[in-house]
């Protein structure tokens, strides 16, 4: 098993009020089979033994399904591998002695907490305004009782794969969250169960997104390029259509 050394430049910042800077560290005796976060664990062990404050970063599942591990690696949210979260990125994808720059998501609506950790509760507040079906229909019916064309079901499933990590926001020059909101809207809007609250959901979630301070979409596609679940930007077009239709219907309502 080969071992490698890496030169790290890590963003260190005590809190949102203090100034931050890139600090140099050396990651030694790193196996090519380690994940990126396991490599950071090794570095933190050394920092702690030296009596310093370890690098703060967020994670939970380490299986690529929760999205909490989001960091910017060499300028790319989640790093160089498409369709991969930071926790599922392995050190064999880097060259020995390579310099790796590690930074947090940078967006006004994701205020920094410490080092690489940001507050993404703005996403939770958007979901709370309508990202659900509120009708109490009792026990779930047999799935085959509601016929849904396979292509529609596949589209809804692809949208539902969004893990809300925020990479789309971090990659966008406008810090736009429309890919996230579009995915969360469309996985419900495409299904029959989501129709009753479709208009209200679109209006509330988009309005909350704007209230949180996220920017507008300029259709450049960085969000799709870095999304670890490869959510398509076609959901942005569907979001715009649903929002405009709901806004017109609201304006025409007596």
Q: pLDDT at position 137, please?
A: 64
Residue 133 sits in the same domain as residue 15: no
Which residues, at least 6 apart from 153, have a Cβ–Cβ distance to it below 8 Å?
191
Residue 108 pLDDT > 80: yes
Residue 233 sits in the same domain as residue 164: yes
Which of 94, 113, 132 terminates a domain? The answer is: 113
How is residue 232 written in tokens?
Answer: 């398509």
Which of 78, 113, 148 terminates a domain? The answer is: 113
Residue 71 pLDDT > 70: yes
Interval 242-252 mean pLDDT: 95
Q: What is the residue range of 57's domain?
A: 3-113
pLDDT band at 89 (very low <50, low <70, confident <90, very high): very high
Interval 51-68 mean pLDDT: 95
Could you give the C-alpha distances from 203 to 134, 199, 246, 253, in angstroms and in order?
Answer: 16, 6, 7, 14
Residue 100 pLDDT > 70: yes
Residue 208 sits in the same domain as residue 240: yes
Regarding pTM above 0.85, the answer is yes
Cα separation, 100 vs 252, whole angstroms: 55
Interval 28-57 mean pLDDT: 97
* CATH number of the domain bearing residue 98: 3.10.20.30
Torsion angle of C-alpha atoms 43, 44, 46, 52, degrees rounded to 10: 130
Q: pLDDT at position 143, please?
A: 67
Torsion angle of C-alpha atoms 36, 38, 44, 45, degrees rounded to 10: -150
Residue 130 sits in the same domain as residue 101: no
Residue 42 sits in the same domain as residue 135: no
Residue 202 sits in the same domain as residue 233: yes
Place of tokens 């009792």: 138
Interval 68-93 mean pLDDT: 96
Higher pLDDT, 237 or 193: 237
Q: pLDDT at position 126, please?
A: 98
One-letter-per-residue 3-state SS of the chain: CCEEEEEEEEEECCCCCCCCEEEEEEEEEEECCCEHHHHHHHHHHHHHHCCCCCCCCCCCCCCCCCCCCCCEECCEECCCCCCCCHHHCEHHHCCCCCEEEEECCCCCCCCEEECCEECCHHHHHHHHCCCCCCCCCCCCCCHHHCCCCHHHHHHHHHHHCCCCCCHHHHHCCCCECHHHHHHHHHHHHCCHHHCCCHHHHHHHHHHHHHHCCCECCCCCCHHHHHCCCCCCCHHHHHHHHHHHHHHHHHHHCC
Place of tokens 């926790």: 87
Residue 1 pLDDT > 60: no
Cα separation, 28 vs 226, whole angstroms: 28
pLDDT band at 136 (very low <50, low <70, confident <90, very high): confident
Mean pLDDT, the chain, whole residue set: 94
Residue 86 sits in the same domain as residue 147: no
Q: Within a 10 A sphere around the Cβ of 1, how many other Cβ atoms?
A: 5
Residue 199 sits in the same domain as residue 147: yes
* CATH number of the domain bearing residue 216: 1.10.1060.10
Cα separation, 215 vs 207, whole angstroms: 12
Q: What is the pLDDT of residues 147-177, one digit of tens each?
A: 888 999 999 999 999 999 999 999 999 999 9
Q: pLDDT at position 124, please?
A: 97
Question: Of 28-32, 55-59, 138-142, 185-189, which gets the smallest average pLDDT?
Answer: 138-142
Residue 98 sits in the same domain as residue 33: yes
Query: How many domains, the chain?
Result: 2
């Amino acid at each position: 098993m080969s071992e490698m050394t890496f030169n790290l430049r890590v963003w260190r910042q005590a809190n949102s009020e203090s100034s931050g800077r890139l600090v140099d560290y050396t990651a030694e005796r790193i196996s090519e089979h380690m994940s990126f976060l396991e490599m950071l664990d090794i570095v933190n062990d050394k920092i702690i033994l030296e009596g310093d404050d370890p690098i703060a970063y967020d994670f939970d599942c380490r299986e690529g399904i929760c999205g909490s591990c989001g960091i910017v690696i060499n300028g790319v949210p989640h790093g160089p591998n498409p369709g991969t979260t930071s926790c599922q990125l392995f050190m064999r994808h880097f060259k020995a002695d390579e310099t790796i720059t590690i930074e947090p998501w940078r967006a006004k609506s994701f205020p920094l907490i410490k080092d690489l950790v940001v507050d993404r509760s703005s996403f939770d507040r958007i979901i709370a305004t309508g990202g659900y079906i509120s009708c109490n229909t009792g026990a779930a019916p047999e799935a085959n009782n509601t016929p849904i064309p396979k292509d529609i079901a596949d589209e809804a499933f692809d949208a539902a794969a969004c893990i809300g990590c925020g990479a789309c926001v971090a990659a966008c020059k406008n810090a736009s969250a429309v890919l996230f909101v579009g995915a969360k809207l469309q996985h419900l809007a495409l299904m029959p169960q989501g129709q009753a609250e479709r208009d209200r959901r679109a209006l509330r979630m988009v309005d909350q997104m704007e209230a949180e301070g996220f920017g507008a979409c300029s259709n450049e596609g960085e969000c799709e390029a870095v999304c670890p679940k490869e959510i398509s930007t076609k959901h942005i077009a569907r979001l715009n259509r649903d929002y405009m239709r709901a806004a017109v219907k609201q304006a025409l309502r007596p």
